[in-house]
Chains A and B, each alone.
Chain A
Amino acid sequence: MAARKFDSKALAKGVFSILVFLVLWEIGSRSKQWIALDAFSWLRDMLEAFGFRSKYLPWIGAIPAPSAVLVAWKDVLFDAGYWHSWYMSGARVFGGFIAAMLVGIPFGLALAVSRTVHGIGFPVFELLRPIPPLAWVPASIIFWPTQELSIAFVTFLDAFYTVVINVVGGAKSIDVRFFQAAQSMGSSKADIFRRVILPGTLPSIVVGSAVGMGITWEVVVAAEMISGGGSQVGGTSGGGLGFFIWNSYVGGSYEQIVVGMISIGIAGYISSELLRHFGKYLTPWLRLR
């Protein structure tokens, strides 16, 4: 991994690519306006030949333009409810994520270290793992006393699986030479656990948590949509970003749907970036290579 320095060229490229994307999107969305011009009659004919009867570019013409999205965003920017949605989703993600780490890391280590735990725990784990978290939504709404807990549980689940799988894989892939070297220098079993297995697994824990964090965002949004908003704190705004999107859809505000989607993108990016930095801090020996 190369040391990351501030790279103005890379930044310029990034900004450029986002700008090009926005411009193309804007042009596509406004196709209703410019495609009506006589100069584009050939394009209309071509679309008709392909079976498209609408008077705008297929698919993209039906999407609100970025400029319209920006306006809609400006409208909710000072709305406490919008930020409360951020807060609710963020709290659920981090709650579920931290719970997954707290339970998943020790469980994964136990699976890797103890044959007994592996023998008893792993089959059940592997049996439950293929069940998608969203399939748990109805069951967890029934099982958990509050809707908040059921969302938290579903969010927790997939991050938990990811963390456990990575911890087990990481611990198992530690080179046997490290154990032998530690042994021949007089390390006890506890020493080997603390000074070989733990640090040797750390890179996998970091990777697993980054993947887990991404999954957590996916799941929380879907869970919020399905459960219809979770807790009723703050009225409809208590539902988080997932419910924000769903609510906008039901209310027919297509611009707000996109606002919600982009908000999730930004939130996910921020959480991954936070995690990356924390991960680098935990594994300094990988940063320097």
Chain B
Amino acid sequence: MATTETRGAIRIEDVVKIYDPDGAAVMAVDHCSLDIAAGEICMIVGPSGCGKTTLLNAIAGFHEITSGRITLDGEVLCSTDRPKSRPGSDRVVVFQNGALFPWKTNLDNVAFGPIMQGKLSKAEAREKALSMMADAGLNGVEHNYPGEVSSGVRRRIEIVRALMNDPKVLLLDEPYRALDSLTKSVMHEALLEIYYRNKVTIFFITHDLEEAIFLGHKVAIMTSRPCKPKKVLTVDIPHPRDYGVLTSKRFRELIEETNEAVHEEAVKAFQSGEKEG
């Protein structure tokens, strides 16, 4: 996969999102600006319900923004004038609870995107899907349905399905939230491995600070609703990383540096009684 430096740079400029369901305007995102370089792993950390997903939905094109601008490689995705971007295969989402189609086999799930876009025939897409699944170590589950494999395997399949579209950006919405911590650690290394091979920009939402610092080049700690970056941290631990990083001195230092900020926001969110989401 060819990667140029200009592929997948996201620029979030002064984005505001106000939900107005029944007259009571709720500000979910408050003048949020964030720069994500091409090929960077950017981790968005914040308490549940702080409005991180709102930001992701705006990039993906599922929801409108109220004002501001989001660009991808200089091209405007959405702005005050055109509040909703068109969902596209250059920005594929991996969902919190997984969205593999239960009625398709894992292989057909992975092959889905290129067939939809008319890029590959069904046979070609399947062939590519097989080889990508093999690369990701997903052998022997191709002809099973998603309901038959573990949730960890499902999540990996979903990431491969997203990568099949040759996206510029991978949008991950707390994909490992429901996994136990041991499975999580396996998933983290698997994700990094996939990343080193494909070098896409990753926009990764989580509320797990360790996960954020372990994976990210950049960690944006968000304020509780309304959401905007409270602190943006550059993680100076060199890639490629493996699980040894977790016990390194620098990793511990970075955790200490940021823990306070995250905790503050968590307390705020708890006190305001935001519901999960």
Binding site for B on A (CB under 8 A): 175, 177-178, 180-188, 191, 195-196, 199-200, 202, 283-286, 288-289
Q: Which residues of A contact B99 (CB under 8 A)?
A: 175, 177-178, 180-181
Question: B107 CB to closest chain A CB, in angstroms?
Answer: 13
In the complex, what distance in Å separates the CA atom of A76 from the CA atom of B93?
A: 66
The reply to whether the CB of B89 lies closer than 8 angstroms to some CB of chain A is yes
Binding site for A on B (CB under 8 A): 60-62, 87-89, 91-93, 95, 97-99, 101-104, 112-113, 116-117, 144-148, 161, 165
Q: Which residues of A contact B102 (CB under 8 A)?
A: 285
Contact status of A186 and B103, CB under 8 A, knowing A180-B60, A180-B87: no
Q: Which residue of B lies closest to A176 (CB)?
A: B62
Q: Tell which of B103, B112, B113, B144 touches A199, judged by Cβ atoms closer than 8 Å.
A: B103
B116 & A184 in contact (Cβ 8 Å cutoff): no
In the complex, what distance in Å separates the CA atom of A178 from the CA atom of B116?
A: 14
In the complex, what distance in Å separates the CA atom of A187 from the CA atom of B61?
A: 14
A289 & B148 in contact (Cβ 8 Å cutoff): yes
Contact status of A288 and B148, CB under 8 A, knowing A181-B95, A184-B91, A199-B103: yes
Q: Tell which of B103, B116, B148 touches A185, judged by Cβ atoms closer than 8 Å.
A: B116
A182 & B116 in contact (Cβ 8 Å cutoff): yes
Question: B89 CB to closest chain A CB, in angstroms?
Answer: 4
Q: Which residue of B lies closest to A177 (CB)?
A: B99
B93 & A181 in contact (Cβ 8 Å cutoff): yes
Q: Which residues of A contact B88 (CB under 8 A)?
A: 184, 186
Knowing that A185-B89, A196-B101, A285-B102 are A-B contacts, what are 18 other residue pairs whose CB atoms are under 8 Å apart, sorted by A's residue number? A180-B95, A182-B116, A183-B62, A183-B87, A184-B61, A184-B87, A184-B91, A185-B112, A185-B161, A186-B113, A186-B165, A199-B104, A283-B103, A285-B145, A285-B146, A285-B147, A288-B144, A289-B147
Q: Which residues of A contact B60 (CB under 8 A)?
A: 180, 184
Q: Which residues of A contact B95 (CB under 8 A)?
A: 177, 180-181
Q: Which residue of A lies closest to B89 (CB)?
A: A186
Q: Which residues of A contact B98 (CB under 8 A)?
A: 177
Contact status of A177 and B101, CB under 8 A, knowing A185-B92, A284-B145, A289-B148: no
Q: Which residue of A lies closest to B161 (CB)?
A: A185
In the complex, what distance in Å separates the CA atom of A200 from the CA atom of B148?
A: 17
B97 & A177 in contact (Cβ 8 Å cutoff): yes
Question: B6 CB to closest chain A CB, in angstroms?
Answer: 22
Q: Which residue of A lies closest to B93 (CB)?
A: A184
A288 & B116 in contact (Cβ 8 Å cutoff): no
Contact status of A288 and B147, CB under 8 A, knowing A184-B93, A187-B116: yes
Q: Which residues of A contact B97 (CB under 8 A)?
A: 177
B147 & A185 in contact (Cβ 8 Å cutoff): no
Q: Which residues of A contact B92 (CB under 8 A)?
A: 184-185
Q: Tell which of B61, B62, B87, B103 touches A202, judged by Cβ atoms closer than 8 Å.
A: B103
Most chain B beta carbons < 10 A, residue from A180, A185, A188, A202: A185
- Can you list 7 A-B pairs, Cβ within 8 angstroms, ordered by A? A182-B112, A185-B89, A185-B112, A186-B88, A186-B89, A199-B101, A199-B104
Q: Tell which of B89, B101, B117 touches A178, judged by Cβ atoms closer than 8 Å.
A: B101
In the complex, what distance in Å separates the CA atom of A162 from the CA atom of B100?
A: 29
In the complex, what distance in Å separates the CA atom of A289 from the CA atom of B147?
A: 6
In the complex, what distance in Å separates the CA atom of A187 from the CA atom of B89?
A: 9
Q: Which residues of A contact B62 (CB under 8 A)?
A: 180, 183
Q: Which residues of B contact A177 (CB under 8 A)?
A: 95, 97-99
Q: Which residues of A contact B87 (CB under 8 A)?
A: 180, 183-184
In the complex, what distance in Å separates the CA atom of A202 from the CA atom of B89?
A: 27
Q: Which residues of A contact B91 (CB under 8 A)?
A: 184
Q: Tell which of A181, A184, A200 touches B103, judged by Cβ atoms closer than 8 Å.
A: A200
In the complex, what distance in Å separates the CA atom of A186 from the CA atom of B101?
A: 15
Q: Which residues of B contact A191 (CB under 8 A)?
A: 116
B145 & A288 in contact (Cβ 8 Å cutoff): yes
Q: Which residues of B contact A195 (CB under 8 A)?
A: 101, 112
Q: Which residues of B contact A184 (CB under 8 A)?
A: 60-61, 87-89, 91-93
Q: Which residues of B contact A181 (CB under 8 A)?
A: 93, 95, 99, 101
Q: Which residue of B lies closest to A192 (CB)?
A: B116
In the complex, what distance in Å separates the CA atom of A51 from the CA atom of B274?
A: 67
Q: Tell which of A180, A188, A286, A288 touches B93, judged by Cβ atoms closer than 8 Å.
A: A180
In the complex, what distance in Å separates the CA atom of A284 from the CA atom of B145?
A: 9
A185 & B113 in contact (Cβ 8 Å cutoff): yes
Q: Which residue of A lies closest to B144 (CB)?
A: A288
In the complex, what distance in Å separates the CA atom of A179 from the CA atom of B91?
A: 15
In the complex, what distance in Å separates the CA atom of A203 from the CA atom of B103?
A: 10
Most chain B beta carbons < 10 A, residue from A175, A186, A202: A186
Q: Which residues of A contact B147 (CB under 8 A)?
A: 285-286, 288-289
Q: Which residues of B contact A196 (CB under 8 A)?
A: 101
Q: Which residues of B contact A283 (CB under 8 A)?
A: 103
Question: A159 CB to closest chain B CB, in angstroms?
Answer: 25
Most chain A beta carbons < 10 A, residue from B95, B98, B104, B117: B95
Q: Which residues of A contact B93 (CB under 8 A)?
A: 180-181, 184
Q: Which residue of B lies closest to A203 (CB)?
A: B103
Q: Which residues of B contact A289 (CB under 8 A)?
A: 147-148
